[in-house]
Amino acid sequence: MVNTGFVLSWIDYLIMIIYFVFVIGIGWALKKYMKDANAFLEAGRAMPAWVAGLAFISTNLGALEVMGMTGSGLKYGMLTTHFYWVGAIPAMVFLAIFMMPFYYGSKARSVPEYLKLRYDEKTRGLNAGLFALMTILASGISMYALAILMQKVLGWNFHLSLVLSAAIVLGYTYLGGLSSAIYNEVLQFFIILIGLLPVVLLSLKDVGGWHGLQQSLAPIVTAKGFAPDAWTTTWKYTGSSTSNPMGVEWYGIFAGLGFVLSFGYWCTNFLIVQRAMSAKSTTAARNTPLIGAIPKMFIPFLLIVPGIVALVLLNSPGKNFSLPLNDAGQPIYDYTIIMLLKQYLPAGVLGLGVTALLASFMSGMAGNVSAFNTVWTYDIYQSYIRPTTGDKAGDDRHYLKVGRMATIFGVVLSIAAAYLASLFGNIMDFLQTIFSMVNAPLFAVIFLGMFWKKATGHAAFTGLLLGFAIALLHHGLTYPLGANTLVKGGWICHLHAYPVEMAQNFWTAIFACSASAVLTVVLSYLTVQKKPDEELKGLVYSLTPRLSEESVPWYRRSVTLAIIVLVMVSILTILFW
Amino acid sequence: MGIDIKIPIGLMFTILGLLLTVYGFFTRLDSTLYERSLGINVNLWSGLLMLFFGLIMMFFGLLSRKSKSS
């Protein structure tokens, strides 16, 4: 057992305390503006694009991402950048240019509400219910991971860490609602960036820069049976699934990650879309994902590159670097970033690095809680429990109170979910698989809804359910090689084996999305469109007047920004081909 | 909504930057502390970077406050 414990000194704790004072302080400063449900749950739709844009990627820069991506860097090398350059970025550009005008312009307050306006009540109900359940579980999982981390790294009590972190998140989201979550996400973004930067620079310097890294990797990687540069290239070895560590061919990456998984995540997940919906104007809402895309494409250098360095360190006995092992004797790859912090950072910046990790956990949690309270208040409570009355001012006060209660309720349920996760270690993997099963069909349904006016409510509802069923079936029939639990798949029979788990995930999503799309199209032809064209205005592409950006100077137009983003990401792809 | 986030961000990074710069300055001769960071006084450098970033944020924050009030 490797000792993961850090020795933190007074300066490290002081940095942490200063950070948390600011976090709570921002919530406190916003308290007086929280006069109605709109201010609390939608941030009054007043955010500047750069604030919404940084919050947009910061919500996603949760700890599971920070820890997971560094671990993946170690396992798969630069191939992990596919999650960014072919995954996230194209999806973010698509969301910005093609989907945001409908989400924002429809005046829907949430993604489920868009489904209600475009399709019908049952489609909204299904999505809202699933979303509420999933966000609570996700926030519980991230709380659990945080408490485990604090226990192992800081030696704090598990229960105390759980309650304390929940209390901080509850504190600032209860006080300032979505605005507070968003402003804090911006703060978190900068602290994560500056907190992890020393690790990147020091670890690279230690192995002699990028070229030194390539040279040191060659013998290690060849011993594993791959080409010497397999860890430092992205597309070069994707011709066959056996010549790259990820075990996926280029078309699997392109369709699974680049299309279905990323579009399913970035374009339909209300947690993410909510940030752009809080922007102050349609142009700002469209620019939000694009502004977020610029730092997003450089995050691989912050997270993945240190992970690759860790592979070299693991194979250099003189460096005294090792990863902690789990009960089965396997290294815990997710702890790579923590071991790197310990390896390189002296007191002072170490506190900053630990604060960055804590910040990333909290941004994930607060994002989930602030999305949960909106969906709960608008899509569940207001639709099924207490609809609006004629009294506008009374309603506003009432729903603000409900939103606040939902925040407390959400945090308490998350704590319960965290304990659930601590009981079943495997449930975390299982739930993440389930999440991707729900998102892939949702993308098919929303996409058809936005671009095809014939898609009907019955078809969408059935498409969602069937897509999920197909995903489940695929997961039951196939399994990744070396899987030892049924959670990883193959619980019906072993029809097909994938070389790695990731390949299986990609194909699950591809099947789910295509099945859902085909069924929705077929059923739309068989059922009657109950919504007249008039009602679909602003919700469907062909019935919505084109957005004119002529009043906006060319350098601020979404299309200009989108082209810049795509050119930048193409250059990065070519550089690291 | 209400507050301009540039000011709290600027303030926080200025404070943290000052703290790390001062700490880095006073520990500059402590070679055991900086053995891990390959002999580089990473506190001093990070501190200066944060101080610089914090001051820039503050500057823009105060600038937009001024243009709003006038």
Render pLDDT for A122-180 as a digit per residue (tens, 0 to 9): 999 999 998 998 889 888 888 888 888 888 777 888 898 888 889 999 999 898 888 88
DSSP state of A227: -
Domains (range + CATH), chain A: 10-385+392-423+546-575 (1.20.1730.10), 424-545 (no CATH)
Q: Could you tell me which residues come within 8 angstroms of residue A503 by beta carbon, excluding any fewer than 6 positions away?
A: A241, A246, A247, A248, A252, A256, A480
Q: Which residues of B touch A (CB under 8 A)?
A: 1-3, 5, 8-9, 11-13, 15-16, 19-20, 23-24, 27, 33-34, 36-38, 40, 42-43, 45-46, 49-50, 53
Q: Is position B5 within any domain?
A: no
The reported pTM is 0.90
State the pLDDT at residue A124: 92
Number of domains in chain B: 1
State the pLDDT at residue A247: 75
List CB contacts (< 8 A) between A26 and chain B.
3, 5, 8
Is B53 in contact with B13 (CB distance < 8 Å)? yes
pLDDT above 60: residue B14: yes
User: Are B5 and A183 a contacting pair at CB < 8 A?
Assistant: yes
Task: List, for residues A307-343, the tens digit of each pLDDT value.
Answer: 999 988 888 877 778 887 777 777 888 888 888 988 8
> Which residues, numbered 196 to 215 in chain A, qualify as contacts with chain B under a Cβ-Cβ cut-off of 8 Å?
197-198, 202, 205-206
Task: List, for residues A416-443, the tens digit of each pLDDT value.
Answer: 988 887 777 666 667 667 777 888 899 9
Of A470 and A427, which is predicted with more confidence?
A470
Q: Could you tell me which residues come within 8 angstroms of residue A532 by beta carbon, excluding any fewer than 6 positions away?
A: none
Tokens of A238: 């994707």
Instruction: Tell whether A25 lies on the interface with B, counting CB pairs under 8 A.
Output: yes
Judged by DSSP in three states, A270 sits in: helix
Of B52 and A283, which is predicted with more confidence?
B52
List CB contacts (< 8 A) between B36 and chain A.
343-346
Q: Is position B4 within any domain?
A: no
- The pLDDT of B4-25, averaged and rounded, is 92
Is A89 in contact with A572 (CB distance < 8 Å)? no
List CB contacts (< 8 A) between B19 and chain A.
11, 14-15, 18
Q: Is position B35 within any domain?
A: yes
For B48, the domain range is 10-69
Task: List, for residues A517-538, the tens digit of each pLDDT value.
Answer: 999 999 999 988 888 888 888 8
Average pLDDT, chain A: 85
Residue type, A92: M
Q: Could you tell me which residues come within 8 angstroms of residue A59 by beta carbon, excluding any fewer than 6 positions away?
A: A185, A271, A272, A275, A363, A364, A367
Q: Is position B47 within any domain?
A: yes
Q: Is position B3 within any domain?
A: no
Percent of chain A clearing pLDDT 70 (strictly above)? 96
Judged by DSSP in three states, B45 sits in: helix
pLDDT above 90: residue B16: yes
Of A30 and A502, which is predicted with more confidence?
A30
Task: List, for residues A349-384, the tens digit of each pLDDT value.
Answer: 999 998 888 888 888 888 889 999 899 988 888 888
Tokens of A125: 């109900």
Tokens of A438: 């729900």
Q: Minimal CA–CA distance to A178: which of A412, A314, A375?
A: A375
User: Are B2 and A32 a contacting pair at CB < 8 A?
Assistant: yes
Q: Is position B17 within any domain?
A: yes
pLDDT band for A1, please (50, 70, 90 cuts): very low
Residue with tokens 């170690």: A74
State the pLDDT at residue A4: 62
E-strand stretches of A442-577: 478-480, 496-498
User: Are B20 and A349 a contacting pair at CB < 8 A?
Assistant: yes
pLDDT above 90: residue B15: yes
State the pLDDT at residue A448: 92
